[in-house]
Structures are given as C-alpha cells and as structure tokens.
Amino acid sequence: MTHAQHLWRSIRDNLRARIRAGLLKPGEKIPTTRDLMDQHSTSSATVRRAVDSMIESGELIGRQGLGVFVVDARAEDS
C-alpha cells in the first residue's frame, strides 16, 4: 500500500470513528476539505478520495453548494 493510499484510508477511518463516537451526528456537516487538509497535513485530492469513498458507500452525502453531511442511517432504513 502506498503512502497516499494509507493516508486517505486513515482519514476515512478517522471520520468513521468520529461518527461512531457521536462526535459527528446524522445530518451534521463534516469538516471542510481545507480543515481536513490541515488536520491531516495532506492535499485536497487525498481528502477528496476519503470523502468520496464514504459518499459512495452511503455514509456521507454531498449537497451542492452546502457541503458534505453525515447520512442518517435510521432515515435510510425506513
């Protein structure tokens, strides 16, 4: 695994852990790309890869012009 692959997976895992711990709640906006870049000392492309993987898996949803939000799994189940 390359450093870049490890890094985006680490960002994804960190976001997942924050969601599980209740630090990021359903419907809540996640930190901006810039904030995540600063937190993880990485590029926007690496952050985008992590966020995109969570959007693809249904954990997050992007809202044009508003940001990226945690999906409410309970709403998805009903």
How many Å apart are CA 21 and CA 36, to the nearest integer?
18
Predicted confidence at residue 37, as pLDDT, reads 96
The sign of the torsion formed by the CA atoms of 47, 7, 55, 28 equals negative
Domains, the chain? 3-77 (1.10.10.10)
Query: Whole-prediction pTM value?
Result: 0.87
Coil, helix or strand for 67?
strand
The sign of the torsion formed by the CA atoms of 34, 44, 56, 12 equals negative
pLDDT tens digits for the chain (78 residues)? 677 678 999 999 999 999 999 999 999 999 999 999 999 999 999 999 999 999 999 999 999 999 999 998 765 544
What tokens were used for 60?
Answer: 């997050």
Backbone angles phi, psi at 29, to 5 degrees: -75, 135
